[in-house]
Each structure stands twice: as C-alpha cells, then as structure tokens.
Structure 1
Amino acid sequence: MATADGSTIIARNEDAKSAWPKYFTVHPHEEHDDQLTFKSTDNGFTMPLPKISGKYTATPEWTKEFGLFEEDGINEFGVAMSATESAYTNERVLGFDPLVEDGIGEEAMVTVTLPYINSARMGVKYLGELVERYGTNETNGILFSDQEEVWYMETAGGHQWVAQRIPDDSYAVVSNQLSIEEIDFSDEDSFMYKADIQEFVENNHLNPNPATFNFRKIFGLNDLSDEYYNTPRVWEGQRILNPEIKQSPVSHELPFIRKASRLIQIEDVQRILSSHYEGTPYNPVGTGSESEKHRFRPISLPATQESHILQIKPDLPIEIGGIHWLAMGVAAQSVYVPFFAGLTQTPEMYHHGSKTYSTDSAYWVFKLASVLTDGHYEHFIKDLNTTRSKVNIQIQNKLHEYQKRALVSKDDQLDQLLNQAGEEISGLAIKEFQSLAANLITRSTDLSPLFYQHNEEL
C-alpha cells in the first residue's frame, strides 16, 4: 500500500468564499414507506430517491439558499465520498454535448449518492448513471473510497464521464482541471466510463491524437491559465511526496498518478492541503521576490471553507476504522480534528455560524485565529504554529486512546463513546484556539500604527 498503515485516503480543500461557514453533521439511517424526491434549491435539479438511505457524515453550507453542498462524508456501509473538484470542459466538446442547466451539480452529488452506495466502485457506477440520465450543469472531479479501493471520477460536457482506480501503491494530486490521462478500455479493474464515450469522441472527431485516448487532452482545456492556477498545485503535492523528482511547476505534462518515495502518513496529506509553497520562492509570505511570491495560486488560501481527509483503516469495522478529519477554515492556519465514522451526533458548535462572525461557531473559532494572525503575520505566526503543534499532539493522543477503548467497548455503548470522542477532541482544539485568539487580541493592542512611545512617568 502507498500509506504507512494500509489505510485508503481521499482528501480535498473546499474553496469558495473567505467568510462562508460550514457545518458538520450526521444523517441517520432512514427507511420510508413513501417515495421521496430531491429538488435542488440551486438549479432546480430534481430526482426520486430510494426509500432506504444509509447513515452518513457531511459538511453542509450554513445556508440552503444556494444548495446543500454537503461535499464530503463516510457512510455506514464503509464508503467515503468527496465531491467535487471543479474543472472545465473545452468548447469543442461542449459544442456537441453542452452542460445541462438543471442537471446534477456539486451541491447535490453527495446528498443523492453517498447514502445509497456500498462500495467505491458502486459509487462511480451510481453517479455515472445519474450523469447520463439527468445530465450535469458543470464539469467535476469526484473521489470515492472504501476499505480496499480508491477511485477518481471526472465528468465532462453534459453527459460524459470516466473514472480510474488509483493503484494501491500510488497516489494522485488533482487541481481544478481534468486530470485523467490514458484510458485502457480493456482494463475493467482499473477503469470505468460511459459506455459510448469512444463513439462520441470518434463520431465528432474530438481526439487530437486518435492513436490514444487521453481524456485530459480530449476533454480538458490545457490552457495558459493552468500554468499559474492549476499545475503549480499538482507540482507542489508531487514535490512533497517525491522531492527527488525535478519538474517544472508550469509543466502541462505532470503525471496524474505517481508512486511516492516513502510511505504516506496522514501528516503528509495535511501538509499538502495546507501548503502555500513553503520552502520555495513562491510562498506568498516567504522570501522570494514580489513577482515570485504572487506568481502561483497556493493550495491553502483564505477562500478555503473547510478541508477534509477521509481515512478508512484496514481490518477494522467502519465505525472505528473510518475517520473523518475536518479542518474548519484555512487549512494552513487550522487543525484537522478527527471524528469517528460511527458517531451519531456532532458537537453543538459545528451546527452554528453564518456569514457574520459569531462566538458559538466552530468555523468562526478557527477562522478568527487565522484573521488575527494575518493582521500581524510576522508577529503572530509563531504563536499560531506553536498552538497548532500542541493541539495536533493532543489530538493524536486522544485519538489513540479512544481507538483502544472503542475496540473493547460493548456494541450498545459504542455510539455514546464515539460521540464522546468527538466532543472531547474537538473541544480541546476549540478551547486552545479560543485561548490563542484571546492572546492575539490582547497583543494586538500594542501594534496600532497610532502607537506612541511615551514616558510613563509623565
């Protein structure tokens, strides 16, 4: 396996606005006698839902006005899903298969898929059928995993899709562009796709190199904007996991899949999601020239609403082996709090917050420390990083403690124990960041530009 403990891992930053809270919730297992219907408050997308839905975790928006955007979660059947990584289809393809205005989009995908699938492979097939039937209103990348497999799926145009299984000994880093390369239509274990996608491409003369079937080059943009917005982030992720490989951050030929030079730890994934090119001239708060520091779009930035890592450990029941790591706000200035997939309720502070700051919101607790640090970065970044390090150690200690307790817990007491773990672990992180914010506010009083050094004896 590519990971040190054999876990499967999928992860992503959700980026939208700099002040746009997320919640964290658990939907219970439900069985209904009557047919249910999903209707999007975003674009009107409508579809019937199965009568039985599995329990799953999710991170919805603070408001339903623009859609649910549940984004990521782990279900009771041992499947994790993250949706979506926004991407773009080229105009040539859209001329033959345009986007569908009221088709399925990012805000609905987790809600109408995750409760109804029992494997990562089934997730790809299930969502692929929805895209074919209803069309989609945008181009997206979607991640699925279970205890044995990780799949990355991409949609293009209104109805096209492909998916590739990430090899057990490899990893993939993806930014906001179509990334899957060569499709091997004879390898059913590693690839899934819309049944007639080859005919669609051939009949409409879409392939610039008919000797191969490179999804990225047939359906993607691959334009100059990628060189400052997308490819540098892929380069950074690969630089962290393969520092021995020398590549250009503006290369259009960075591979979709690589083998890391070492076994991957959760901390490596956290480092990638939190990166702003530390150790390179491209760090916005580093020592490069002004043009270098602002040349590339960082991975972690103020518009990150939440960052998640969905880990499924081998040889453990999903209730304990599934861990939903969640960092609210800017990943580089927050911490990843682990929640067991088997919990049945989330802490109260993860149910509060709106676009205006409030003290009762987990999102705003972590965001406040971030904003205060940014105001006097050179003075406060050490304090922030010291707090992050302290909390990360506390989190790991508590996580291991609760894992041991859960393994010997009675079945009828497991829910309560995992809920307690979520409360205690998130509570210690929140408390430390509240103390950090109080300290930074106090110290900020001496950093006013109107400050005057006067003689206190006068």
Structure 2
Amino acid sequence: MKKFIAASAFMLVTFVSFPCTNLLVGKKASTDGSTLISYAADSYALYGELYHWPAKQYHPGEMLKVYEWDSGKYLGEIPQVLQSYNVIGNMNEYQLAIGETTFGGRSELSDSTGIMDYGSLIYITLQRAKNAREAITVMTDLVKEHGYCSGGESFSIADPDEVWVMEMISKGTGNKGAVWVAVRIPDDCVSAHANQARIQQFPLNDPKNCLYSPDVISFAREQGYFNGDDADFSFAQAYAPLDFGALRYCEARVWSFFNKVNKDMAQYVTYAQGKTTDPMPLYIKPDRKLSAQDIQEMMRDHYEGTELDWRFDVGAGPFNSPYRWSPLTYEVDSVEYCNERPIATQQTAFSFVAQMRSWLPNEVGGILWFGIDDAAQTVYYPFYCGHTETPHEMAIGNGDLLNFSWTSAFWIHNWVSNMVYTRYNDMSIDMKKIQATLEEKFRASQPEVEKEAIRIHQQSISQSVDYLTQYTNNLVKEGVAEWKKLGEYLMVKFLDGVIKREENGQFKRNPYGEPTSPLRPGYSNEYYRKIIDQTGEKYKVHPIE
C-alpha cells in the first residue's frame, strides 16, 4: 500500500498514502530451497480479508472492468484473456506471488487518466502469468497499453526459481505508460523495500538479471532529472530522491531486516536514522539461511534491540508499548518531530509470507502464509496456491470497517490487539503463547498433510486441491475460535487494571469457591520516576502535623 507521511516531510510527493513492507529471499538463501517474499498491506482504510479469483475461461471479445483497488473507483475496461488462473490472495496456481510498496516519487509524473492502478496490476497479472518473467511482461504491457494511474511503485515478483524487484513510475498526464526497471535478486541473497525506491545503478546489458523500459534513462534526461553517463544512472535518485522521511520511515525498515541477517549492516544505522544518505545495497548475502518462519518473525519487528527501539521513552507509556497512534509526525513550538515506523504496525489489514517450492507439484509447493491484522499479533495460516474456497472468517462481505462481525478474523484479531496495545508488556506475553502454539501446530502437521496431498495428487489433482483447501479452512475456523477465547481470557485476567491470579492454567479461587484477591502490580519504578520527575512533590505522601 501507499505510504502515509505528513505532507511537509515529502516535498516531492503529493500522493496521500499508506506504508507497506516487503522482504525477499532467494532460493539459495533459504533453509530448504524455497523462494520467499512477504508483504504487509498497511492502511487505516483497508479491511482485512482474503481475495480469491477462480480459474475461468472467457469468450473472445469479452472485456474486464477495472476498479481502483484503494478506492473502488471505476477506471475503465480492458480486453479479457481467454483463460485466467486461480488466485488466492497474492499467489496463483503456478506459485507466482506478487507484493508491493508505494514510493510515490515525483508528483509531476502522476497520470490520473491511466486505467491500470497498482492493485489491479497485481491481481490481473496473477490471473494471467505463470512465472516472474512473464509477470513482468504482462505488467509492463498493461501499463504501456492502458496507462498507469498510481504513484511510483516497487513490486516483489517471485516464482519457485526466481525473485525480482521491479520499480515503476508513470510519465505524467498525456504521456501514457511508465518507466521501469526490474532486477533479479541473486539466489543466495535477500532484499527488501519499504515505500522508497531502492534500485540505484543497474546493468544495461544483462537481460538474464535486469530488464528495463527503453526510455527509463532518456525520459529522465528529458525531464532534467539526470545528465550523466548511462552507466551512472540511478532509478531511485532520478525518480524518487531521498529526504528525511524516505530514510527514517522507509529505509529504516529495510535496514532493520538487513541488520538482523547480516552483522555488517550495522554500519548503516545513521542512514536509517536519516543522518546520512549513502544508500544501502539493493540486496545482501545473509549470514545464515532463512526459513518461512524466520520471515514471519521478521514481519513482527518493532526495532527491538536497535538504536531505533522506542519501548522505553515516555511515549511508550507505563507498559513499554512499541506503538504510537497516528499521525506519524507532530509539531511542537514550530519544530517538527516524528514517531518511528517499524515493520509491524497497528494499521495492517493483512500480511503474508509467500513460499514457493520448485521440487513439489504446484498445488502442494506454493504456500501463502496469510494473516489478518497487525503482523506482530496475527496468526499465519498455510493457504496452498490451488485453494478454491475462502474460509468464512476471511471472506469478502463478512463485516467491513464500519460493521463489526464476531465471525470475522479481522474483527476478532483487532478486538484482541486493541486490548494488548493498552497493556503491552503484560498482555503480549499471553498473546504470543497462543500465537506460537497455533503456528507450531501448523508446522508440526505440515509434513504428514503434504505427504497425503501428494499421494492424492498422483490419483487426482482436483481431489488433492480439495483436501488442502478443507485442511486450511478447518485450521482457520479453529484458530479464529481460539483467538476469540484469547480475547475473553485477556478481558477476565486484566479487568480494571489488576491481574487475576492463576494456578495450573486456571484462575485461582479461595477454599469457598470465590475468586482470590487479584494482583495489583501498578507500574514499574522507571515509570514512577518519570511521574515524579514531571510533577515533583505533587503526589508525595507526607505526615499531617
């Protein structure tokens, strides 16, 4: 999604937007040979649900109506293809997965007349392409033919063998199409992007690893964005120049991921803080190989243990919260200040980790580990890429942002997370126990489930798909019910600011069957000192003479 930044922080960008994060892992950088990409759809205006488009045949001459993903606005129509592919969330039946983050870029390049917005570009392409290279062709052909109406965009595009980052920006009203460059991430490397263009210089004669529009450099020259040698051209510097917000709110998230997987990336901390501008590399080699579970945990990052850790200042409150309410920036005495913007955030509608495995049949090999709400407090469920029936708990129409539903994963997770936010360091412990129990259960059952799915697949592909669909839908039903129980438990345990006593997993009662007196821990000494520092002797208890 697009990035939400105070207007004063980005003088070059006028797009109203919301931030997202993508992490990418090549097949030789993963523990089992999978390719991996992740995505968090972060927006206060987006409802968390799971999209599904079934494979379908169409007649020659049929047209497809295009609606802007962000707003629902009708944009126009384009020719439909004769055959579309099954899509569950952001992965299709061929293990092709696509994610995105919006960097906005130069405001004068906006083109409101285009038919293709970034969201439609993703979901239409997933219905039409079988692999990453084909997806790049489909996406760039669509914007060339029909125009591109969104801001500058970074796309993660991956299949079981290759992982790519493609960056694109339109060319202004009346100049249909877009300039773009796509770089393949080396198999033994990881990459990331988080609402700031990341492709700097790129190879001009290496189509195996880099593709680009013919005018990506010449257009920048025409606009006065670049005047050097072609070999020195930087897409990011030309079309999305850095400023403080791009560094502190966006590149800092990339740095946090890189810093966790490669000790040498600590040197870029001042870049993440917005103090220096020498850019980080587009991709790096990790010190260790990463699993899908590792990437799930990376999506839950709040800058813990780094120079950007913000759990211990006064803004964190008495319970060390790694969250701050919007807006991102604020002004005091004519001086502008900011909150941090970590990967995990309260406004996430949904997130996923897409895992593609080349050694398995597509129907078993592709897993969209999909979760609703804040990535730090979600549960990632394994949706196999042939999935044909959205579970009711995540279905479109089961509630919306203005209508609560007790059967909606979005609303149940938000009910729990908004309790946890109020007493984070206490409640998050209980939340993480249930989260870990559910996800460990999924991983433990995965080998046997996939073994059975492959056995069925040898006899009937459709029955194998049905088996996996039912398996996952049952997990969601059971998991959402368990999360509702978690909410009930937290409400009882922490009611009115005290903590119910427990024994052997049960709330404790006295010998007469009544609840025992609750714990009244109050606040930490560190927080009490902050109160005293601010108020002096206002609350001091003293003897009466």
Report the Cα distance in structure 1 between the residues aligned to 2:98 and 2:226, rounded to whole angstroms: 31
1:315-374 CA-to-partner distances (Å, cap 9, x unmatched) read: 111100000111100000112111111221121111122113210111122222111111
Does 2:364 align with 1:323?
A: no
Other-structure match for 2:92: 75
Task: Point out 4+ residue stretches in structure 1 off by more than 4 angstroms.
Answer: 288-295
| Segment of structure 1 superposing worse, 164-173 or 337-346 | 337-346
Other-structure match for 1:400: 447
Other-structure match for 2:132: 120
Over aligned residues, Cα RMSD in angstroms?
Answer: 2.4
Cα distance change of structure 1 residues 246 and 281 upon mapping to structure 2, 3 Å threshold: closer
Matched AA of 2:450? Q
The counterpart of 1:361, out of the listed 408, 412, 423, is 408
Report the Cα distance in structure 2 between the residues aligned to 1:281 and 1:143, rounded to whole angstroms: 28
1:123-150 CA-to-partner distances (Å, cap 9, x unmatched) read: 0111012222222222111121111111
SS at match of 2:453: helix
Report the Cα distance in structure 2 between the residues aligned to 1:307 and 1:178, rounded to whole angstroms: 21
Other-structure match for 1:221: 241
Report the Cα distance in structure 2 between the residues aligned to 1:229 and 1:155, rounded to whole angstroms: 20
8 Å CA contact 1:26–1:344 kept in 2: the answer is yes
8 Å CA contact 1:339–1:421 kept in 2: the answer is no
Report the Cα distance in structure 2 between the residues aligned to 1:191 and 1:32, rounded to whole angstroms: 34
Aligned-residue offset at 1:446: 3.3
Report the Cα distance in structure 1 between the residues aligned to 2:194 and 2:180, rounded to whole angstroms: 17
Matched AA of 1:287? F
The counterpart of 2:379, out of the listed 303, 318, 335, is 335
Other-structure match for 1:238: 258
The counterpart of 1:388, out of the listed 432, 435, 438, is 435
Report the Cα distance in structure 1 between the residues aligned to 2:241 and 2:38, rounded to whole angstroms: 24
Matched AA of 1:192? L
Report the Cα distance in structure 1 between the residues aligned to 2:228 and 2:413, rounded to whole angstroms: 49
| Segment of structure 1 superposing worse, 29-38 or 270-279 | 29-38
SS at match of 1:274: coil
Give the structure with higher Rg (CA). 2
TM-score by length of 1: 0.88
Other-structure match for 1:70: none
| Segment of structure 1 superposing worse, 362-371 or 303-312 | 362-371
Report the Cα distance in structure 1 between the residues aligned to 2:388 and 2:110, rounded to whole angstroms: 41
Report the Cα distance in structure 2 between the residues aligned to 1:123 and 1:245, rounded to whole angstroms: 32
Does 2:115 align with 1:90?
A: no
Report the Cα distance in structure 2 between the residues aligned to 1:392 and 1:282, rounded to whole angstroms: 28
Aligned-residue offset at 1:36: 2.2
Cα distance change of structure 1 residues 103 and 87 upon mapping to structure 2, 3 Å threshold: farther
Q: Which runs of 5+ in 1 are unaligned?
A: 59-72, 449-454
1:157-180 CA-to-partner distances (Å, cap 9, x unmatched) read: 331111111110111111111111
Alignment of 1:241-390 (within 5 A): 241-247=261-267, 248=269, 249-250=272-273, 251-252=276-277, 253-284=279-310, 286-288=311-313, 290=315, 295-351=339-395, 352-355=398-401, 356-390=403-437
Matched AA of 2:78? M
Aligned-residue offset at 1:237: 0.8
Aligned-residue offset at 1:206: 2.2
Report the Cα distance in structure 2 between the residues aligned to 1:176 and 1:343, rounded to whole angstroms: 30
The share of aligned pairs that are identical, in percent, is 24
SS at match of 1:44: strand
Matched AA of 1:7? S
Report the Cα distance in structure 2 between the residues aligned to 1:227 and 1:174, rounded to whole angstroms: 12
| Segment of structure 1 superposing worse, 428-437 or 162-171 | 428-437
Name the count of aligned residue pairs: 431
SS at match of 1:163: strand
